[in-house]
Chains A and B, each alone.
Chain A
């Protein structure tokens, strides 16, 4: 049974349909990458999965139960595309606030904070406000607040955007370690070398999945040397099929 499944998700903002009925499933311990250009609907989809917005139609189930549910959200972690930090608080105060909402206080909070910062490869200075950190440091602090309560399912929206390549490598190693301990991850990205590190990829373009499979599988099916070429291949196939079908999603 998948840890998370989404079926026929349609999302609309005003007149514009952003997701045209997408479905996916993620198994325990798996890192699923959502790969697509900006505007493809990645953030909209992860927001629906995280329970932050309600879809127009479709069903999301986490741990076998329907979302949104506060009980299930307790076991999920979410890192937004924006840093979503209180920039007028210190790093420790940000961690304390998000920790408190998951019931972490006192020593438990202290230990969880230290672990999360270690995973995010961030050293914080006491008394320094979040707005005084560099963009990359804020990004890592945002990651730390998302993994603080050791969620079983982690939803990460462009987690490494704006990061030093060295930190990016370190953080992906941390993701891999978490996956090995049975944590499940959904990661959006538009960077091909990050996509390479995922167990499975869902290529998304204009609100539909154009391909799904492991990076190797996708390259093979497309007969392409790189994921980038594979993406182009699947995008062209999709465009051809919609043209034939008379614009099924229009």
Chain B
């Protein structure tokens, strides 16, 4: 136990002499989250639609639906769309509305189609039947509209929407934010711990330690404790900055979010050390990370996997990041309490424990005792 303390103290001292790593571990994830937040928090895209020979009702309806409008001849308009300078060209061919869409960016395509749909409905509603009163011989005027049933173009009343979780103001990114917090903590802890342990091997200090009366478990525990203390500080700063500075919505308890982030950091830490057992250089740690960490992030549930093949969903469930991401979302977006995410937390801790023991076993390569 005393030796584990010595190892963790040494790791903290190494951090103290390496302010650059310290700075990177904290500033890099916060910076990345901030950038993502700004990108995804920007207002919705306003598509640029070129029209030709369209009724003014329709054009103003398009503008109301959030599109920017330009007019041009058919040839010019198609050219602009081709060049990517306009998103779509709308014209009328008899009763049929013809739309040409640039089409390389699905989100812009979606914005164009939404605007056109809205405009079509609005244009329909705004049609005013201009039926003149009939003048009978003798000068009597009869307003036939009083006697004829006229078709009604009243738009349907807006539905009354209540949000079980989230709100009308929730942006798309708010759904991804909680996952990004967990993923970034995981990613940066993995790099630092993996590289740090590989240095222990390449520098000869691991061999040197194996010649001392230190137990293998003391070395691993020391690493986890030293890095753990550091990742606690890191997670706290990243979570606090994300919620209070960057402005991620958090419906749950701050400390519970921190507990989840820290649990993910511990899994990452033990996994990083374990992976470094199979790497001989710092470059190899980075290479292994691409196989071990990137797929975990892709399958973490950041993207909806419910329509993917079964094997992929199973694979996602085999990765610890998935459970951390789910717990993060549950707490931050749905205000879940400890009891609701206890199962996910338990899975994370089991992963950490397995990797921890795996590290102790892997060190047998050097010394049986």
Residue from A100, A101, A102 with most neighbouring chain B CB atoms (10 Å)? A101
In Å, the complex CA distance between A85 and B7 comes to 14
Q: In the assembled complex, which residues on chain B have CB atoms less than 8 Å from the CB atom of A82? A: 203-204
Query: Given the interface contacts A53-B366, A129-B17, does A101 sit within 8 Å of B213 by beta carbon?
Result: yes
Give B contacts to A, CB under 8 Å.
2-3, 5-7, 9-10, 13-14, 17-18, 203-205, 207-215, 366-369
Determine if A101 and B3 form an interchain contact, defined as CB atoms under 8 angstroms apart.
yes
22 contacts between A and B (CB under 8 A): A50-B211, A51-B367, A52-B207, A52-B211, A52-B367, A53-B366, A53-B367, A68-B367, A70-B214, A70-B215, A74-B213, A80-B204, A80-B208, A80-B211, A84-B207, A86-B203, A88-B17, A89-B13, A89-B17, A93-B10, A101-B212, A101-B213
Q: In the assembled complex, which residues on chain A have CB atoms less than 8 Å from the CB atom of B213? A: 70-71, 73-74, 101-102
Q: How far is the CB of B364 from chain A (nearest CB, A)?
A: 9
- A80 in complex: contacting residue of B207, B366, B367, B369, CB < 8 Å: B207
In Å, the complex CA distance between A100 and B209 comes to 12
Q: How far is the CB of A60 from chain B (nearest CB, A)?
A: 12
A95-147 interface (Cβ within 8 A of B): 97-98, 100-103, 129
Q: In the assembled complex, which residues on chain A have CB atoms less than 8 Å from the CB atom of B208? A: 78, 80, 84
Determine if B2 and A84 form an interchain contact, defined as CB atoms under 8 angstroms apart.
no
Q: In the assembled complex, which residues on chain A have CB atoms less than 8 Å from the CB atom of B9? A: 97, 100
In Å, the complex CA distance between A71 and B209 comes to 14
Q: How far is the CB of B196 from chain A (nearest CB, A)?
A: 10
Q: In the assembled complex, which residues on chain A have CB atoms less than 8 Å from the CB atom of B207? A: 47, 52, 80, 84
User: Any chain B CB within 8 A of the CB of A38?
Assistant: no
Q: In the assembled complex, which residues on chain B have CB atoms less than 8 Å from the CB atom of A103? A: 2
Q: In the assembled complex, which residues on chain A have CB atoms less than 8 Å from the CB atom of B2? A: 100, 103
In Å, the complex CA distance between A105 and B2 comes to 11
Per DSSP, chain A at the interface is loop
- B6 in complex: contacting residue of A53, A90, A97, CB < 8 Å: A97
In Å, the complex CA distance between A9 and B188 comes to 44
Determine if A89 and B10 form an interchain contact, defined as CB atoms under 8 angstroms apart.
yes
Q: In the assembled complex, which residues on chain B have CB atoms less than 8 Å from the CB atom of A87? A: 203
Q: How many A residues, CB 8 Å from partner?
A: 34
In Å, the complex CA distance between A69 and B368 comes to 10
Determine if A101 and B214 form an interchain contact, defined as CB atoms under 8 angstroms apart.
yes
Q: In the complex, which residue of chain B has the Cβ closest to the Cβ of A83?
A: B204
Q: How far is the CB of B211 from chain A (nearest CB, A)?
A: 4
Task: Beyond A80-B207, A80-B208, list 13 extra A-B contacts (CB 8 Å).
Answer: A68-B369, A70-B369, A71-B213, A80-B211, A83-B204, A84-B203, A84-B204, A84-B205, A85-B203, A86-B10, A93-B10, A98-B212, A102-B213
In Å, the complex CA distance between A73 and B209 comes to 11
Q: In the assembled complex, which residues on chain B have CB atoms less than 8 Å from the CB atom of A68? A: 367-369
- A101 in complex: contacting residue of B6, B17, B204, B369, CB < 8 Å: B6
User: Any chain B CB within 8 A of the CB of A203?
Assistant: no
Q: In the assembled complex, which residues on chain B have CB atoms less than 8 Å from the CB atom of A54? A: 367-368
In Å, the complex CA distance between A85 and B18 comes to 16
Q: In the assembled complex, which residues on chain A have CB atoms less than 8 Å from the CB atom of B10? A: 86, 89, 93, 97
Give A contacts to B, CB under 8 Å.
47, 50-54, 68-71, 73-74, 76, 78, 80-90, 93, 97-98, 100-103, 129, 155
Query: Given the interface contacts A70-B369, A89-B13, A89-B14, does A102 sit within 8 Å of B212 by beta carbon?
Result: yes
Q: How far is the CB of A94 from chain B (nearest CB, A)?
A: 9
Determine if B13 and A93 form an interchain contact, defined as CB atoms under 8 angstroms apart.
yes
Residue from B2, B18, B207, B213 with most neighbouring chain A CB atoms (10 Å)? B213
Q: How far is the CB of A101 from chain B (nearest CB, A)?
A: 5
Q: In the assembled complex, which residues on chain A have CB atoms less than 8 Å from the CB atom of B214? A: 70, 101
In Å, the complex CA distance between A102 and B209 comes to 11
> Nearest 7 CB-CB pairs, A to B?
A82-B204, A100-B6, A78-B211, A84-B208, A84-B204, A70-B213, A50-B211
Q: In the assembled complex, which residues on chain A have CB atoms less than 8 Å from the CB atom of B203? A: 82, 84-87
In Å, the complex CA distance between A178 and B107 comes to 78
In Å, the complex CA distance between A50 and B208 comes to 10
In Å, the complex CA distance between A3 and B211 comes to 17
Q: In the assembled complex, which residues on chain A have CB atoms less than 8 Å from the CB atom of B212? A: 73, 78, 98, 101-102
Query: Given the interface contacts A68-B367, A68-B368, A100-B2, does A86 sit within 8 Å of B210 by beta carbon?
Result: no
Q: In the assembled complex, which residues on chain A have CB atoms less than 8 Å from the CB atom of B13? A: 89, 93
Q: In the assembled complex, which residues on chain A have CB atoms less than 8 Å from the CB atom of B366? A: 52-53
In Å, the complex CA distance between A74 and B9 comes to 21
In Å, the complex CA distance between A23 and B365 comes to 24
In Å, the complex CA distance between A37 and B203 comes to 23
In Å, the complex CA distance between A139 and B366 comes to 24
Q: How far is the CB of A104 from chain B (nearest CB, A)?
A: 10
In Å, the complex CA distance between A90 and B16 comes to 11
Residue from B7, B17, B208 with most neighbouring chain A CB atoms (10 Å)? B208
Q: In the assembled complex, which residues on chain A have CB atoms less than 8 Å from the CB atom of B368? A: 54, 68
Q: In the complex, which residue of chain A has the Cβ closest to the Cβ of B18?
A: A88
Determine if B211 and A76 form an interchain contact, defined as CB atoms under 8 angstroms apart.
yes
Q: In the complex, which residue of chain A has the Cβ closest to the Cβ of B206?
A: A84
Q: How far is the CB of B79 from chain A (nearest CB, A)?
A: 61
Q: In the assembled complex, which residues on chain B have CB atoms less than 8 Å from the CB atom of A129? A: 17
Q: In the complex, which residue of chain A has the Cβ closest to the Cβ of B219?
A: A101
Q: In the complex, which residue of chain A has the Cβ closest to the Cβ of B10?
A: A97
In Å, the complex CA distance between A68 and B210 comes to 10
Query: Given the interface contacts A52-B367, A54-B367, A68-B369, does A86 sit within 8 Å of B211 by beta carbon?
Result: no
Q: In the complex, which residue of chain B has the Cβ closest to the Cβ of A93?
A: B13
